[in-house]
Amino acid sequence: MSIQALLTEYGDKYLQALLTTWRLTVISFAAAFLIGIVITVLRVCPIRPLRMFGDFYVQIFRNIPGAALLILLVYALPYLQIIFPYDACVLIATILIPSAFCSEHLMSGMNTISPGQIEAARALGLTFFQMIRRIIIPQALRSTVLPMTNLLVATMLTTSLASQVPMRPRDLTGLVSYINTRAAGGVAAFVISAALYCATALVIGAVGSLIDRKVRILR
């Protein structure tokens, strides 16, 4: 089928799929970001068991393949009488994995802060949480805009996991395999989805480097 024929027949389906991919990406990234910050605070707090828990969490979700995690959530957890609907399983997987990478980026962002600032903050009598909130997090965020932009793109790519479960509405990857099993969509079906993914990634990248230029701390 040509691209035009595909668009007239499946145009609204593609639009829906694009919106689904965007929705999954935005929700996953926002949640992963918040969890990433919490985990990072745990990893630097003075309470050793919490630090170890934070490190453990990051190592688990940084290293588990997305497919393995999704399969565990969808097929294995019901044996423990923990049953999530399909879209929840996808979201959990696409939140947990990026959250670990988010924490890793924040940790390396924190390492760019000079020790003198911490000493100054302590000399001024700031508490641990004041220091985290006023000194560490703002600077860690400002110096990690580019890694975070890449993480947002990676999160979008991870949401293609949604094609592995019977989830409705379908995401961009799921729609392509659906079209190809129903009719011979051929190369064109892939080209449309790929173009939509790429366009999104390029926009994210452009906005990211714009923000980075605005907020980066020159050292």
Partner 1 sequence: MTQTSIRDMLYESPGPKAKKRIRFFTGLALILLAALLALVIRQFAVTGQFAEKYWSFFARFTTWRFLGEGLLTTLEAALTGSAIAFILGFLLMRGKLRRNRILRAVSTALIEFTRGVPTLLFIYFFFLVVPKTGWKPSAFWKITLPCAISACGVVAEALRSGVNAVPRGQTEAALSLGLTETRLFYKVVFPQAFRFVIPSLIAELVIVLKDTTFAYIVTCADLMQNAKVLISNYDAMLSVYLVVAVIYILINYLLNKISDRLALKLRRTAAEGSKA
Enumerate binding residues for partner 1 (CB under 8 A).
43-44, 46-51, 53, 59-60, 62-69, 71-72, 75-76, 79-82, 107-108, 110-111, 113, 115, 118-119, 122, 128, 131, 136, 153, 156-158, 160-161, 163-164, 172-173, 176-177, 180-181, 184, 186-187, 190, 193-194, 197-198, 200-202
Burial state string for 13-38 with b = 16 or more CB within 10 A and e = fewer than 16? bbebbbebbbebbeebbebbbebbbe
Of 31 and 188, which CB lies nearer to partner 1 in the complex structure?
188
Shortest distance (Å) from residue 6 CB to partner 1: 13
Shortest distance (Å) from residue 193 CB to partner 1: 6
Shortest distance (Å) from residue 42 CB to partner 1: 9
Shortest distance (Å) from residue 2 CB to partner 1: 15
Amino acid at 149: T
Half-sphere exposure of 76 (CA within 13 A, CB side): 7
Of 9 and 178, which CB lies nearer to partner 1 in the complex structure?
178
Burial class (CB in 10 A: 0-12, 13-18, 19+), 154: middle
**CA 58 to CA 71: how far, in whole Å?**
19
Q: Which residue matches tokens 């050793």?
A: 48
